[in-house]
Amino acid sequence: MTASPPPPPPSATTCPQGQVDPRRTSCPQARATSHAPRRRAPPPRPAPFALLALAFALLLPAGVRADDAVIHLWHAYRGVEEEALAAILDAHRRAGGPRVELLALPYDAFGSKLGAAIPLGEGPDLYIDSHERLGDYQKRGIVAPVADAFEGPAAFFANTIEAVSLGGAPWALPLSQKCVALYINLDLVDAPPATLEGISVLRDSLPPGAFPLVYESQSAYAHAALLGAFGGALLGPGDSFGFVGEPAERSLDLARALIDQRLVPADADGALVTNLFRAGKAAYAISGPWLAADLALAPDLHYRVAPLPAVEAAGGAPMRPLLTVEAVMLSPQGAQRAEVRALARHLASASAAQIRQDRARTLSARADVALPPGDDLLAAFAAQAAVAIPMPSSPAMRATWEPAQRALKKVLRGEASPRDATEGAQRRFDDVRRPPPPAASPTPLLILLGLLSLAGAFALVRRARSGELLPELRRSLPAYRYTAHAVVIVGLLVIAPLLVGAATSLFAGRPQDGLYVGLANFVEILTARGGPLLASGSFYVVLLVTLLWTLTNVIFHLAIGVSLGALLSRPTMRLRGLYRVLLIIPWAVPNYVTALAWKGMFHRQYGAVTGLIEGLNHLFGFNLEPIAWFSRFSTAFAANCATNIWLGFPFMMVVTLGALTGVPADVLEAAEVDGASRWQRLWRVTLPIIRPTLAPAVTLGAIWTFNMFNVVFLVSGGEPDGTTDILVSEAYRWAFTRDAQYGYAAAYAVLIFLMLFAITRLGELRSARRAARDRAAAAQAGAPGGVR
């Protein structure tokens, strides 16, 4: 729950007498001779200005190139794919090519890194990424046409050319193809099923606990293969929402039937698919080539890969998964260099494709590269890729995933019919994709800023004319020398981002084509985008959930932390040190690690909580059913709270232990002599004394909990249907999963800041009034004739 405080800024060397001389390593008094005249030294020059220069150097855009002949290539490869890329570049270098600098980045952060670096003239000359991002990259101006780097369409498979083309022209060079296929556990079955529905015959013949089929049933990406068999698509013509209508409803009915018949496990994610198939608990699995890498850890497992089966309910049509094409793309600055285009052509060449196929076992996008003889895995994926549907590269595709996935989960959990779920998803998609508010005139804002500037200038002139400003400024100059670096660093790292975020909230649209809309984002948030104010996902509903979340967690943090602190502060308790170390571990472990661990514990089928329920059933003869924790708001909210309470109580415990050391022992002894019970001493003596120490801790805990993104995002993910989202996770979704509406997300952030600032100020005012009342009561008690 908590973040570690920032380290203190580097300080200068301090003498025993408190004098500071950052230019020396010992005290000036230690070097002064007895005969030297004692004169007042001028104020020393602080060394932190050197640190300030270093900070500016670190904050400047990285990647300034000393050698323009070097080619910069970014990628997200790992393992054998990265080794294959290095071998390809080594061959290019031996053939006389220029030196290439590689930079491997995490896939999830790849697009944001490109978007931040390339517009500034930095970043890579070319990069390798998935084709579905091409439309977004083109709209943001960070990709350029491949021009003469393209060898021609005859060298590549037609579907790969279709995938990397925008407006009929190729904007990237295809390298490899990836899609899902059918893995067959040869220890349980010996052939693929004729149809998907045919797996039902295995239900009674498999070992206990085994499933006929495992796949990520709640993933829209995996469900797209079923949808494709019925002729549907996630994104329709003209960037319309495609996951609606008869094909979508029939595919959802079939997915629901597979789970109801216990042919497919519910709540299966990628890790569960891997574990079940590797453990021999599944006859078939639908996954991509990444599963083969994981299965290499199970040498005793015998399996093969085949194309996905046909779907009887779809008239015998084959399942058609989405096809992802990895491609090399040129940045605008890189496309202007002939050597960069030559390198791109080499990366997409037949010789490079052969290296990738031999070393990384990837399916090439080139039609002139033959598959290795006897490689059944690549042959199966090649057959599947031939009928796969290239994933749309339109920017609208990013806005499709969230509503489609929520509709899928609602149907699989029985919360809505396929028609209601898909129509609700379409409304959500249309709401996210609707045009931004009309542009507003910046004149009122400029007038307001001008008036504030005039008011500030008038105040400065008034103080200067009073004769107080300059003397105060001269007296403060030595202090300013020591604090200037901290002011500048805090200004750059804290104040500037706050101002940029506040300014962003006044704009709408994507960063590259945003327009000033004034307070329109705030109006849309506070009016629930024109819908019912208490509709699901509206600002007010999310705010109520956030307040309930904060209040629940802080109460439990305080109750558990104070109780444990009081218990561990007892001097007669044995092994107190050991207990303190053990109880602080939840706070010491990174919260995202704890969140993922607790999410696994709450899994409906294989979680530790389910195992505990089954153990109780076995021991005491109960008939308790496993809990679907994330199918209802109450249980999902409880799972989030349990995780965050586990993370947060050690902080309150540590604060309480520190506060209790300041409770005078003679006061407690006097209360005991007066006949106060243990509870009365705690409630009437101890708690009032430690309350001033606990109050700031409670405020900090409330702020941290109010913005606890990791737990909500990683444990429940907002499920069911976004009802457990809090304000900060809702802001994240508007920025990164709903068509990159950064201005709208920034408006959410500004509202969060204003609410927390107001709550903090109210708490401070309340504490000040209480302190004033206490002082007045003390003064009255001490006055002549007052109550003693």
376, 304 in Cβ contact below 8 A?
A: yes
Residue 18 scores a pLDDT above 60: no
Q: How sure is the predictor about 481, in pLDDT bands with cuts at 50, 70 and 90?
A: confident
User: Can you tell me the distance from the alpha carbon of 731 to that of 316, in angstroms, rounded to the nearest whole number?
Assistant: 44
Q: How sure is the predictor about 298, in pLDDT bands with cuts at 50, 70 and 90?
A: confident
Residue 160 scores a pLDDT above 90: yes
At residue 642, what are phi and psi to the nearest 5 degrees? -60, -40
Same domain, 513 and 541: no
Closest by Cα among 362, 192, 210, 190 to 292: 362
Q: Between the CA of residue 76 and those of 85, 130, 186, what are the distances in Å?
A: 11, 10, 33
Same domain, 544 and 509: no
Same domain, 612 and 723: yes
Same domain, 454 and 523: yes
Same domain, 484 and 365: no
User: Can you tell me the distance from the alpha carbon of 85 to that of 328, in angstroms, rounded to the nearest whole number?
Assistant: 12
User: Can you tell me the distance from the alpha carbon of 740 to that of 514, in angstroms, rounded to the nearest whole number?
Assistant: 11
pLDDT tens string 255-284: 999 999 999 998 888 889 999 999 999 999
Residue 640 is part of a domain; what is its CATH number? 1.10.3720.10
Percent of the chain with pLDDT over 70: 90
Residue 780 scores a pLDDT above 90: no
Residue 749 scores a pLDDT above 90: yes
Average pLDDT over residues 35-50: 41
Beta strands in 498-613 (DSSP E): 507-508, 515-516
Same domain, 553 and 467: no
**Cis before 106 (ω within 30):** no
Reduced to 3 states (helix: H, G, I; strand: E, B; else coil), residue 744 is helix
pLDDT tens string 681-696: 888 889 989 998 999 9
pLDDT tens string 547-570: 999 999 999 999 999 999 999 988
* Residues 6+ positions from 182 with CB-CB distance below 8 Å: 192, 284, 285, 286, 305, 306, 307, 308, 309, 380
How many C-alpha atoms does 299 have within 13 Å on its Cβ side?
A: 0
At residue 566, what are phi and psi to the nearest 5 degrees? -65, -35
Average pLDDT over residues 755-775: 86
| Amino acid 514: pLDDT | 79
Structure tokens at 425: 């998803």
Q: Average pLDDT, whole number, for the chain?
A: 87
Average pLDDT over residues 122-130: 94
Among 364, 386, 408, the domain-final residue is 386
Q: Who has greater pLDDT, 482 or 421? A: 421
Residue 533 scores a pLDDT above 60: yes
Same domain, 477 and 372: no
Side chain identity, residue 496:
A
Percent of the chain with pLDDT over 90: 62
Residue 47 scores a pLDDT above 80: no
Among 386, 404, 429, the domain-final residue is 386
Residue bearing tokens 């323009």: 68
192, 182 in Cβ contact below 8 A?
A: yes
Residue 286 scores a pLDDT above 60: yes
User: Can you tell me the distance from the alpha carbon of 760 to that of 772, in angstroms, rounded to the nearest whole number?
Assistant: 18
User: Can you tell me the distance from the alpha carbon of 5 to that of 567, in angstroms, rounded to the nearest whole number?
Assistant: 27
* CB burial of residue 729 (10 Å; 0-12, 13-18, 19+): buried
Among 347, 365, 386, the domain-final residue is 386
Q: Is residue 565 part of a domain?
A: yes
Q: How sure is the predictor about 784, in pLDDT bands with cuts at 50, 70 and 90?
A: low
| Amino acid 474: pLDDT | 82
Reduced to 3 states (helix: H, G, I; strand: E, B; else coil), residue 723 is coil
Q: How sure is the predictor about 527, in pLDDT bands with cuts at 50, 70 and 90?
A: very high
Domain that holds residue 149: 61-177+323-386
What's the number of domains the chain is made of? 3
Q: How sure is the predictor about 26, in pLDDT bands with cuts at 50, 70 and 90?
A: very low
Q: Between the CA of residue 597 and those of 4, 94, 173, 204, 591, what are the distances in Å?
A: 21, 48, 41, 33, 10
Same domain, 506 and 626: no
State pTM to two decimals.
Answer: 0.81
Beta strands in 168-251 (DSSP E): 169-170, 173-178, 181-185, 211-214
pLDDT tens string 218-257: 999 999 999 999 999 999 999 999 999 999 999 999 999 9
Q: Is residue 687 part of a domain?
A: yes
Reduced to 3 states (helix: H, G, I; strand: E, B; else coil), residue 211 is strand
